[in-house]
Amino acid sequence: MKNIFLFTLLLVGLGFAVRAQQIRIDTEAGPIVVRLYPDKAPVTVANFLRYVDDKRYDSAHFYRVVRLDNQATSPVKIEVIQGGLQNDTTRMLPPIAQETTAKTGLKHLDGTLSLARGAPNSGASEFFICINPQPELDFGGKRNPDGQGFAAFGQVISGMDVVRKIQAGQTGQPGPTNAYSNPLQLLLKPVLIRTVRRVP
């Protein structure tokens, strides 16, 4: 826990130097351009840009898609695509403290970029993009039982057609599931993220 907060303090310091920023996610399905909000979510944006600047997302994947047809057992439905390093722990940085939407004033809207997590303060490398508004992912929402929601930190400004194309990809067959893994939501052919870069 101490390491999380030390790392967070470092990112806060970096965050003050971060200006309004856009990034381009070049995937094999097409490009996605995202505007980040360093003024509202400085810790989360600084963390994400560290992955970008270190080129840690190069050759990563969008590997999970959540649709209304592949979450039958979930009482709270959402629609997202999730990407990141998945199980490649060698490229992961320490987790950061969570910036809830109650703190940032951001909401999970159509095209919102947000940080995936399990337990509180466990977000690190994995991220997702919303398809349609997803209020259950905001602070007070019920998708995560702790009610803290997820840390929104950006907005797609170009490429939602690519996001929807990825979401429509073929997923796996029913199998053992837990809180963080559902074969029905894992793409049979994950979508390659070639590069993620800052753009003017």
Tell me the CATH number at 170.
Answer: 2.40.100.10
**Other CB atoms within 10 A of residue 146 CB:** 9
Question: Is pLDDT above 50 for 14?
Answer: no
How much is the average pLDDT of 24-51?
Answer: 98
How much is the average pLDDT of 136-163?
Answer: 98
- pLDDT above 90 as % of the chain: 82
Point out the least confidently predicted range of 9-13, 93-97, 144-148. Answer: 9-13
Number of domains in the chain: 1
CB of 99 closer than 8 Å to CB of 41? yes
- What is the model's pLDDT at position 7? 47
Question: Is pLDDT above 60 for 198?
Answer: yes
Range of the domain at 124: 2-199
Question: Is pLDDT above 70 for 15?
Answer: no
**Other CB atoms within 10 A of residue 170 CB:** 8
Q: How far apart are CA 15 and CA 197, in angstroms?
A: 17
Point out the least confidently predicted range of 20-34, 58-72, 179-193. Answer: 179-193
Question: Is pLDDT above 50 for 30?
Answer: yes
Strands (E), the chain: 21-27, 30-36, 60-66, 80-84, 112-115, 127-130, 151-158, 186-199
Question: Is pLDDT above 50 for 6?
Answer: no
Conformational region of residue 128, where left means phi above 0, alpha means psi within -120 to 50, and beta covers everything else: beta
DSSP assigned state of 18: P
86, with CB counted inside 10 A (0-12, 13-18, 19+), is middle
- What is the model's pLDDT at position 174? 64
- What is the model's pLDDT at position 19? 63
DSSP assigned state of 163: H
Q: Integer distance in angstroms from the first to the last C-alpha of the chain?
A: 36
Considering the entire predicted model, what is its pTM? 0.88
Sign of CA dihedral 116, 29, 57, 112: negative
